[in-house]
Amino acid sequence: MPGCGYQGSEARFSSFVEALAGVLGHADRASPLRDYCTGLLMPAERKSVEPMAAVTAPSRVAAQHQSLLHFVGQSAWSDEAVLAKVCALTLPVLERSGPVQAWIIDDTSFPKKGRHSVGVTRQYSGQIGKQDNCQVAVSLSVANPAASLPVAYRLYLPQDWAADPVRRSQVGVPETVTFQTKPEIALGQIRAALEAQIPGGVVLMDAGYGADTALRTGVSALGLTYVAGVQPHTSVWTRNNPPPQVKPWSGRGRPPTRLRRDPHHQPQSAKEIALSVPADAWTMITWREGSVDRLTSRFGRLRVRPAHRDYHLGEPRQEEWLLIEWPAEEKEPTKYWLSTLPEDIAFDRLVALAKLRWRIERDYQELKQELGLGHYEGRGWRGFHHHATLCIAAYAFLVAERAAIPPSRWRKTAKRTPPRFPAGYRTRGAADQAGAPRAALDRDCAKKTYDSPGPQP
């Protein structure tokens, strides 16, 4: 968040919220919108409705609680319209550091103890790394190396929920929402982004989505390229082991229309190919600066054709890149990708785009830890999505604030003269004034900022 004493952020926040209020449909929604976003940006431990009511209106907590509860849980404003406005306001600032390079699809989970909140069922939770009761939401983010922003977000509704009219009615699932797999939801989000004319990029996905052949095919059908994580057992044809052709017609019966594999002519797995690559074919590539050091690993690549069930096809699939990461210290390769990026793309550029997916991890980390994405305690469909939309709006404001500050500004701020304190001033936790630790000064400075009247992003 902007540092203590940062000038102008409150005015920009007010302008940002005012612009969002214009798509809510009713003027009386502007005030709870501002208060809710303010609560999300405040340094509270929990970002559910009741704690936010206490920090945004301490003199009338009960009334504020009801106002925010109705606004997020019942008020019929459009999540899509707000997210579209957030995107329109934030993308121009994000693009000052460079054009959008990628569209990243992913999902995130929210463990739940009960089973009555919308979409909760026993399913895999990435947050805890195993099957358990949780909700899962699918998102699409736009990204360049400097920043990223979610532009679509939707709850995955499991089959047992989608087919249960009683539970659907209890939590307000719209009639138009039917069962869709997570890859199907992601493909729908990509179509919507194209229709909205959001600046395009390479579609990035991890192996949970990249293993879905229909999703990769759908992305290509929309005219987009992708870098998709895949599993080691993914089957492919290589130039040294090309795919079969349709069997020539003998002149009797129906002419063959599908590829026919020979029992002695089968595709290979990505892992088999990786293990057969000569040692001198691997290349050390650095793709970006990390928090401590430059990120470098060993990679190999070759042209392949995906082979998954191609015996149902009349011709082989188009060639793609198979990209493999095999760190020198590991016993076997650790990651695999398929990519439809051009054959003449530079090796380091291919790796950099594959690795740009880290931005979605940063999005979710900050949305959960700093903005309370998983703190909503209601059970309904509308409230779940309204809370997420407002978290993304607050996050977008922070993204814009960071993108608007050049590196030189940060250096100048770091060298400024520390503020003067009154004689006898003593920070919390300090043994004496002379020995007051810098961390304590920073905490008090932050407290003065957030305790001052009006919203403090």
Band (86; pLDDT cuts 50, 70, 90) = very high
Q: What is the 3-state secondary structure (H, E, C) of 1-44?
A: CCCCCCCCHHHHHHHHHHHHHCCCCCHHHHHHHHHHHHHHHCCC
Band (129; pLDDT cuts 50, 70, 90) = confident
Q: Per DSSP, which regions of 188-232 are E strands? A: 202-205, 226-230
User: Is residue 273 within 8 Å of 238, Cβ to Cβ?
Assistant: yes
Return the pLDDT at 297.
Answer: 97
Q: Cα separations (Å) of 79 from 50, 83, 105, 293, 413?
A: 22, 6, 18, 40, 37
Share of the chain above pLDDT 90, in %: 72
| pLDDT tens readout for residues 94-105 | 999 999 999 999
| pLDDT tens readout for residues 52-80 | 999 999 999 999 999 999 999 999 999 99
Q: What share of the chain is helix, strand, coil (3-state, %, to 5)?
A: 40, 20, 40
Please name which of 306, 310, 303 lies closest in space to residue 261, comparing C-alpha atoms.
310
Share of the chain above pLDDT 70, in %: 84
| pLDDT tens readout for residues 329-353 | 999 999 999 999 999 999 999 999 9
Return the pLDDT at 293.
Answer: 84
Return the pLDDT at 431.
Answer: 43
pLDDT above 50: residue 456: no
User: Is residue 46 within 8 Å of 55, Cβ to Cβ?
Assistant: no
Q: In 10 A of CB 43, how many CB atoms?
A: 13
Q: In whole angstroms, what is the distance from residue 127 CA to residue 113 CA?
A: 14
Band (312; pLDDT cuts 50, 70, 90) = confident
Classify residue 408 by burial, with Cβ atoms within 10 Å: 0-12, 13-18, 19+.
Answer: exposed
Return the pLDDT at 252.
Answer: 66
User: Is residue 102 within 8 Å of 353, Cβ to Cβ?
Assistant: yes
Report pTM: 0.84
The DSSP annotation for 384-429 comes to HHHHHHHHHHHHHHHHHHHHTS-HHHHHHHHTSPPPP--TT---TT
Least confident of 191-195, 213-217, 400-404, 414-418: 414-418
pLDDT above 60: residue 392: yes
Q: What is the mean pLDDT of the chain?
A: 86
